[in-house]
A and B are shown apart, each in its own frame.
Chain A
């Protein structure tokens, strides 16, 4: 990493790569979840809670959510860079999205490892 700007292009290869790797992680998780549900012939409350009681599944779900949130950030930033030209408004929208994604992350942690 050399110089980083608050707004603008040229963030580089790393984000491009993360966007694709996170996509693969999410696709694998989707197929895994679908396979579990199909294998058990449908979904009910017992299967659903048993699944989330499993540490491995919780970890996989966490990995899915982290991939999703990072992927969403790169995609949102790309869209904003293309359509929102004034840097101030773009920075504001980017900030809103970052805050939103952090809220989603907190909510995820609360669901997976919270007491409620």
Chain B
């Protein structure tokens, strides 16, 4: 196999904005897989079992440590959601030029963070 030059000095690599959105799409997806799905299933099963377990679940999620986990999952879901819609649009060749692609990646970052703050504030 041909030897290719490799440049992987991680602190020196400067990802463009769409690259940041892309890697965060992966990070958020992985976090949702290992933490998001079990937390979701556990919360749904406890909250449906009885009025007491529903109330207990509400008490649990107001614990500061749980709030932190849930906020990270909320952001992960929202970022994954917004970035996913951007990828679907890119798939059908919407906003595929350099400038619109940069702009839409900035929009994804800002909107998902803003929605996390708004929904987070509303939930607690």
Which residues of A pack against B, CB within 8 Å? 20, 23-24, 27, 30, 45, 48-49, 52, 68-69, 72, 75-76, 79, 97, 100, 104, 107-108, 110-111, 116
Whether A79 touches B37, Cβ cut-off 8 Å, given contacts A45-B54, A72-B32, A111-B48, is: no
One of A27, A72, A97, A111 near B41 (C-beta < 8 A) = A111
Residues of B within 8 A of A (CB): 26, 29-30, 32-34, 37-38, 41, 44-45, 47-49, 51, 54-55, 81, 84-85, 88, 91
Residues of B within 8 A of A79 (CB): 26, 29-30
- Report which of B37, B41, B54, B88 forms a contact with A23, defined as CB distance below 8 A: B88
A37→B76 CA distance, assembly (Å) = 21
B38 A27 Cβ-Cβ under 8 A:
no
Given contacts A20-B91, A72-B37, A108-B41, contact A30 B48 (CB under 8 A): no
Count CB-based A-B contacts (< 8 Å): 49
Query: What's the dominant secondary structure at chain A's contact region?
Result: helix
Q: Which of A48, A72, A100 contacts B48 (CB 8 A)?
A: A48
B contact face: mostly helix, strand, loop, or mixed: helix
Complex: A79 Cα to B30 Cα, angstroms? 9
